[in-house]
Amino acid sequence: MLFNTPQYLLFLPFVILVYYCLPPKVRYIWLLITSYYFYMQWNPLYVTLLFSCTFLTYLCGRVVEWLKICAERSDTGENTDSEKMRRRQKLCFIICIFLNLGILGFFKYFQFGISILNCLLAVIHVNGISWEHDILLPVGISFYTLQALGYLIDVYRGDIYAEKNFLRYALFVSFFPQLVEGPIERSKNLLVQLRKPQPFSYENLRKGALLVLYGLFLKMVIADRAAILVDTVYQDSGAYPGFYVAAATVFFSIQIYCDFYGYSTIARGSALIMGIHLMDNFNAPYYSESVKEFWRRWHISLSGWFRDYLYIPLGGNRKGKARKKANLLAVFAVSGLWHGASLTYVFWGVLNGIYQGIEDVGEDIRQWTEKYRLKWRQMTGEATREKGPCFSERLFRTTLTFFLVSFAWLFFRAGELDQAVEILGNMLRENNWVILFDGSLYGLGVERNDMNVLVASILLLFVVDYHKYHGKDAADLFLKQGWWFRVSGIMLLLFTILLYGCYGELYDIQQFIYFQF
């Protein structure tokens, strides 16, 4: 069931209505039932994988906590098997991690692994392995697996207590608004809220409904319309060389942002109406002044997961600058592989890691020069008050960051490395910059009127993100305005979706891009 379908717009109000009619103590059971029903709309058989991940991590969490308690009792003299208990605790934890990663690896990386192995065997002139069966990737498996493993790691570290109610924990793993595309919630946030359901709030209803509407606008008006232009060029880049590819790549940067941000916004709004606050997964990333800042603002839940559960355990930045750069590359390579079973995604991840390594070197040089500049000012009696970067410098940094990130998106969109190289070659083959101004872009599947709507919608997006980048909540600002302004704004947003949204009999409803991950 997709968020941008009439089925979901009927499903959500029904779930919310029944939710508030039930006693608070049993509401989580209703949400669990509806969450499993929601997931079964794709393929009922894959519910077994969701349940297996849930059961394994729940059971292991309980066992790990019990073994930890036994070990602590041993330390006080009640038992003499402290070290044995700790070894069992670690063994149970490792086995559960490998079982869950094994399930994810089989469905997501088995065919990729076979292809890599066959390439290696071909080098030594050995016949490869024949595999003719397709393995369908279960929707959302990458997201709910990381969420469940994050909970297990927190229990193992002692950051939280293991959840005793299996049904409530099952809801934590399968909560339908964020089940298939995140955000990847932490148990300290979502699981705690599920234990204490909130009463109905008119303010939550207003803001949640506004978020759902804005998310649909991002997806149906911007992302799906930009996708038409992007697909036209990328499916035949030889016929659209030079700046056609460059323009399509920039539009893909907007498309993937609005697609993923739109899903996260609908998820947040849907949960908020029920009094559940999901984390904000995006914080105006295209206003970032560095790639490092971009990754603090893009897909925040995934970046935070890899930081806390992979980068820091690898040593983070505590073991020297060389080790820090190696850790960064390793984490971004894994992040790329998480996005897809292809060398292109790995390259995309490593490229973003290289960007950050170069930025670290540049920051070291800046600090070195600034130190000697400060000494010179002290010697000459100049004022030593620090001045922040001027507007032109910040604009340059933001623009450069956007184009660096967009260049990396080219490899992400291509899907295969050889296709990415071909598309990049077609982009560099011809210097036809004039097509950006002579109306040629109107011939890429998006007519002039639709293109004007797309550009105007993107401008609205960047106005909203501008406020967000400066720490203001645009939804709260909007809801504080006069009633006539609120009604006019909501009606304009609604009519824009109805008139210019991509849907209907002649349009193939587009699934969200990150569903494939």
**Which tens digits make up the pLDDT trace of 188-219?**
999 999 999 999 999 999 999 999 999 999 99
Give the pLDDT of residue 384: 53
- Taking only Cα atoms into account, the Rg of the chain, rounded to an integer number of angstroms, comes to 25
Do 193 and 210 lie in one domain? The reply is no
Give the pLDDT of residue 388: 66
Do 293 and 181 lie in one domain? The reply is no
115 within domain boundaries? yes
Do 429 and 241 form a contact (C-beta atoms < 8 A)?
A: yes
pLDDT tens, residue by residue, 415-451: 788 899 999 998 988 888 888 888 888 888 888 888 9
Do 27 and 197 form a contact (C-beta atoms < 8 A)?
A: yes
pTM of the model: 0.91
Do 110 and 163 lie in one domain? The reply is yes
Residues classed as catalytic: 339
Do 364 and 413 lie in one domain? The reply is yes
Do 158 and 216 lie in one domain? The reply is no
Domain count, the chain: 2
Do 175 and 220 lie in one domain? The reply is no
- Alpha-helical runs (H) found in 124-242: 141-157, 166-174, 190-195, 202-216, 224-234
- The last residue of one of the domains, among 144, 162, 197, is 197
Give the pLDDT of residue 392: 86
Low-confidence ranges of the chain (pLDDT < 70): 75-80, 131-133, 376-378, 380-388, 503-517
Tokens of 297: 């603002």
Do 424 and 340 lie in one domain? The reply is yes
Give the pLDDT of residue 264: 94
Question: Residues with Cβ < 8 Å from 431, sequence gap 6 or more?
Answer: 242, 243
Give the pLDDT of residue 409: 94
Give the pLDDT of residue 512: 64
Tell me which amino acid residue 412 is.
Answer: F
How crowded is residue 444: how many other Cβ atoms within 10 Å of its Cβ?
20
Measured distance CA(175)–CA(38) in Å, rounded: 9
312 within domain boundaries? no
Q: Which residue range forms the structural domain that includes residue 108?
A: 6-197
Give the pLDDT of residue 268: 95
- For the chain, the first-to-last Cα distance in angstroms comes to 17
Do 501 and 483 lie in one domain? The reply is yes
